[in-house]
Structure 1
Amino acid sequence: MAIGKLYIGRKVRDVREAARATQSQFAERLGISTSYLNQIENNQRPVSAAVLLALAEKFGVSIADLSSGEGDRLLSALSEALSDPLFEGYTGSLQDLKLVTQNAPAIAHALIAAHQAYRRSSEQLASMDDRLGRAALSETTPYDEVRDYFHFVDNYIHELDILAERLAAEIGLGGGDNHSALQHFLLNRFGVRVERTSLKDELIRSFDPASRRLSLNAYATPATRDFQMALQIAQLFAAEPIDRAAREAGFRTTEAVEICRIGLQNYFAGALLLPYESFLKRARDLRHDLDLLSAHFGASLEQICHRLSTLQRPGQKGIPIFFARVDRAGNITKRHSAAKLQFARFGAACPLWNVHQAFEMPSRIIRQLAETPDGVRYLCLATQITKGSGGFRAVQPRYALALGCEISYADSFVYADDLDLDSRAAFEPIGISCRICERHNCPQRAMPPLKSRLTVDHDNRSIVPYRIV
């Protein structure tokens, strides 16, 4: 994949400071002048291919790491926030936004947080009635805080991932038959006995600290039971690093800290059952065949997809993919993207995205070649899953999973083998969400883009009753 002009001064400065070198010393090792390095670090000039190669050769820096990462996610979030009419007349160029996200990411995060607070307050004010005097304006929810935390750390927690991988090797996990190993480890290390039983109130698991007994729902799938044992190990074995990571995240409320602890426990459990290096190797060998990966590791499709989205270890990165879980109402209940495609923070996802079709074709993996308004093309996969357990009257929540990558990585996926990746006509136009999509002739448009003018022709009517100017 070709790399365009890169203004990555902050990243280059971080590499230099990590090497404890002055600008003069660093420039000499790169074979450039000190003034050129100074211009690079201040984003006055882009990094040349020769400098990129020198950084890779002499300082062990991954070119992929330099050309991607938080910048894309932060730029997407900032661009969406600034598309609000509130900022009309104040939005800078794309290059201006890149300079802000690269040189002053804390300012970009602050602006995004302020815009979120503004939207929540505006929405609540718009819906309030005569109880306004007794109602308090909402603040950032703990769930939103935690969601953004994982989003901006690239959904990868290095300390927990390494710890889980070492423990998996110690107790022999990652081969697909994990149940006995997990059960024995809980008993031998922590004195916890595992039993399968019928739990009330649709509980999946229940742990009694006094009796050291872990009860698992007898009707849950084997993958779910294994994950719940791994989660119990996370709570007992990795409590200290999990608590430390949650505290250091800087959340504003106790609720957010507790929700983050749940997320970190889940992260450790997934990393324990699907150890990084062995999972990455198997994913490459099987060309990301989701069903084969699920069978090999004894994990659910959702666990496999979620783990693929966390393969962001420096120097050992997997394919940069996007991953989301969507409910039948179109709500995105899980989301992460290591690719350029970023999910909307407000409103529903694009109706042309194949994830919505998954509910119409259960148990099938649906493929789509898609192109976003910025001209980037993607291989998109979607499939429906059913969660829950029990009999006829049990609640069975249904979700659609979405997974995909930029088309330059499609050859790494078995699902691309018989698709015509070179035909422009094969790619369907999709967007992020209607409120920020600039496509003028989309028959599925639910609402006009926020920053566009409209004209209405009363004598001629198409599916959408207005034209975007």
Structure 2
Amino acid sequence: MATQKLYAGAKLREIRNRLSLTQKDFAAKLGVSLPYLNQMENNNRPVSTSVVLALAQEFGLDVTELSTGDSERLVSDMREALADPIFADAMPPLADLRLTASNAPALARAFIELHRTYRQTHERLASLDEALGREDARIQASPWEEVRDFFHYCDNYIDAVDHAAERFAARAQADGVRGAALAALADRGITVELADIEALRQYDPATRLLRLSTRSAPPTQVFQLLLQVALLSQNSLLEATLDFARFHSEEARAIAKIGLANYFAGAAQMPYGIFLEAAQQTRHDLERLSTRFGASIEQVAHRLSTLQRPGAKGIPFFFVRVDQAGTITKRHSATRLQFARFGGACPLWNVHRAFETPGHFLRQLAETPDGVRYISLARDVSKTGGSFGAPVRRYAIGLGCEVRHADQLVYADNLDVSNASAYEPIGISCRICERKTCHQRSVPPLERRLSIDSDHRGTLPYEVN
């Protein structure tokens, strides 16, 4: 089998800029000529084995950084943007998109941002009557989407916050993270009490009283304690991270700060090194990990998707949460599988069937149109309101990875991963899915021509050419 060549020009430039080195100095440290480095940075030549070794030996670089999923994410996001009907006559070839993502990632992100702004402008104009006469009726990027994209392109791993949470957990020792959180808050003169309230957490800065709901499950209470610890004791770190992100609005910055505090809470509850080792020992058994770390199934699944620390990476997982309408409310993928930025997930995916079997794990072998095969795990994570008549929030989560990691998953046991017919065909979004015979297709694929025969009706009212 021929070895696939590695083109990583953009990543090489990023590493060099991070080290504040000129091309001449960088080339000297890598042991290559200046023209050769220039050709590699412009993807005219692949990164050689000697350069990969030099990066590891000279700079201690985790060489897997050279082949991160950034390009695949950008290609997926560009394809979805180009599936917009306004581009119906201007869809570039997939090879061009991959070339852009590899050679000009900043341009690709700018295009995605431009399309997002267009969509928001279009939606705003659709309800112009609400904005007429208002001085603040200006077009803005959605703060929620801006924050979502921040975590998306950070690979859902925030190194400084993760390390800070791990250090906090290391100091907990016998008291556990709950005891450590209570002690940390007590040191700041904060009183914690359990109360029969609807909110998960209420903090009054004036009285320095933190109230947690007795209706919440113990893992949720611990999580909320740690979140409050993050907001109070890690404020400088959170603010520095937010400064680096350069959000466009105060709303986005405020949402991101809560997101970073949530990240700290999950990372403290499930410290990176200890959690990674436990995940490997249990073969990623979510229930055993949930019991060991006092976390919910959803918290464990989400944490597994963040184990992307350079030099100590876990299995690249995708993680998603959907509501009953199929709308994606949380999404992240460290795999080649990327989720639709707008709308719902593929209806053939087992995550939608999880609502039909509450309390049970569903397993699925799936194959995407690009031929990559995955093992996918789905389960409902419905959350009660804690009292009669309180609304129930119903969600389902999906967690999975490429099938080449199947031997490291307890959920792959007894599945015939070598049988091609065992894999169900799934996609990302109907508009960019290339499958011709999908019986669940909602709209035609943008890149294919259609044939319509009034004398013949199959599963669909048209045939995809």
TM-score (norm 1): 0.92
Structural mapping, 1:66-215, within 5 Å: 66-88=66-88, 90-125=90-125, 127-128=126-127, 133=132, 136=137, 138-172=139-173, 178-187=177-186, 189-199=187-197, 202-215=198-211
- Maintained 8 Å contact 1:289/1:414: yes
Mark the CA change 1:3 to 1:392 in structure 2 (over 3 Å): closer, same or farther: farther
Q: Deviations along 1:235-254, whole A, 9 cap, x unmatched?
A: 11111111222233221211
CA RMSD of aligned residues (A): 2.4
Note if 1:218 corresponds to 2:214.
Answer: yes
Q: Which deviations, in whole Å up to 9, do the C-alpha atoms of 1:208-252 show, x marking residues without a partner?
A: 222222111111100011011101101111111112222332212
Deviations 1:354-405 (A, max 9, x none): 1001000111111111110011111111100122431231211010011111
User: Quick check: 1:275 aligned with 2:271?
Assistant: yes
Given that 1:70 and 1:153 are in contact with CA atoms closer than 8 Å, whether structure 2 keeps it comes out as: no
Q: 1:91 to 1:3 in 2, by over 3 A?
A: farther
2:454 is matched with which residue? 458
Q: Which residue of 2 is the match for residue 424 of structure 1?
A: 420
Structure 1 counterpart of 2:442, which letter?
A
Change (3 A) 1:130 1:182: closer
Give the superposition deviation at 1:129. 8.0
The alpha-carbon deviation at position 92 of structure 1 amounts to 3.7
- Give 3-state SS (helix, strand or coil) of 2:397's partner: strand
Identity of aligned residues (%): 52
Quick one: distance in 2 between partners of 1:148 and 1:155? Answer: 10
CA contact (8 A) 2:73 2:336 kept: yes
Aligned residue pair count = 463
Do the aligned partners of residues 190 and 62 (structure 1) sit closer, same or farther apart at CA in structure 2, a change above 3 Å counting?
Answer: same
- Cα separation, partners in 2 of 1:21 and 1:231, compared to 1, 3 Å: closer
Contact 1:197 1:218 in 2 (8 A): yes
Cα pair distance change 1:18/1:149, threshold 3 Å? closer
Q: Cα gap change, 1:223/1:98 in structure 2, threshold over 3 Å: closer, same or farther?
A: same
Q: Which amino acid aligns with 2:183?
A: H
Of 260, 263, 266, 1:264 maps to 260
- Equivalent pair of 1:207/1:214 in contact (CA under 8 Å): yes
Distance in 2 of aligned mates of 1:192 and 1:425: 59
Secondary structure of the equivalent of 1:172? Answer: helix
- The one-character-per-residue Cα deviations of 1:149-183 (angstroms, maximum 9, x if unpaired) are 1111111111111111111111228x9x5433322
Check conservation: 2:10, 2:105, Cα contact below 8 A: no
Deviates more, 1:389-398 or 1:299-308: 389-398
SS in 2 for 1:78: helix
Residues 179 and 417 from structure 1, CA distance in 2 versus in 1: closer, same or farther, beyond 3 angstroms?
same
> Is the contact between residue 8 and residue 66 of structure 1 (CA under 8 Å) also seen in structure 2?
yes
Q: In 2, are the aligned partners of 1:171 and 1:185 still within 8 Å (CA)?
A: no
Q: In the aligned structure 2, how far is the partner of 1:334 from the partner of 1:273?
A: 20
User: Relative to 1, partners in 2 of residues 1:376 and 1:115: Cα closer, same or farther, differing over 3 Å?
Assistant: same
Structure 1: distance between partners of 2:243 and 2:309: 22
Which residue identity does 1:94 align to in structure 2?
L
Q: What is the DSSP-based 3-state SS (H/G/I as helix, E as strand, rest coil) of the residue aligned with 1:207? A: strand
Stretches of structure 2 that go unaligned for 5 or more consecutive residues are none
8 Å Cα contact 1:206/1:216 also seen in 2: yes
User: SS of 1:278's equivalent?
Assistant: helix
Partners of 1:184 and 1:18 lie apart in 2 by 38
Are 1:7 and 2:3 counterparts?
Answer: no
Which residues in structure 2 correspond to 1:51-66 (within 5 Å)?
A: 51-66=51-66
Report the Cα offset of residue 255 of structure 1: 0.9
Q: Does 1:372 align with 2:373?
A: no
State yes or no: 1:305 paired with 2:298: no
The within-5 A match list for 1:218-257 is 218-257=214-253
Aligned mates of 1:421, 1:84 — CA distance in 2: 36
CA distance, structure 1, for counterparts of residue 117 and residue 19 of structure 2: 40
Name the amino acid aligned to 2:438: C
CA distance in 2, matches of 1:130, 1:163: 48
**Contact kept in structure 1, 2:285 and 2:409, CA below 8 Å:** yes
Letter in 2 for 1:195: E
**One-letter amino acid of the counterpart of residue 186, structure 1:** L
Could you list the per-position Cα deviations for residues 280-318 of structure 1 after superposition, in whole angstroms to 9, with x for gaps in the alignment?
111111111000000000000111111111112111111
8 A Cα contact 2:350 2:363, kept in partner: yes
C-alpha distance in structure 2 between counterparts of 1:46 and 1:445, whole Å: 39
- 1:181 aligned partner, one-letter code: A
Provide the C-alpha distance between the structure 1 equivalents of 2:158 and 2:344, rounded to a whole number of angstroms. 28
In 1, the alpha carbon distance for the partners of 2:391 and 2:3 equals 48
Contact between 2:451 and 2:464, CA under 8 Å: does it hold in 1? yes
Q: Cα 1:455–1:128, aligned 2, differ >3 Å: closer, same or farther? A: farther
CA distance in 1, matches of 2:40, 2:149: 30
- Alpha carbons of structure 1 residues 129 and 66: separation in structure 2 relative to 1, 3 Å: closer
Gaps of 5+ in 1: none
Alpha-carbon separation, structure 2, partners of 1:406 and 1:2: 21
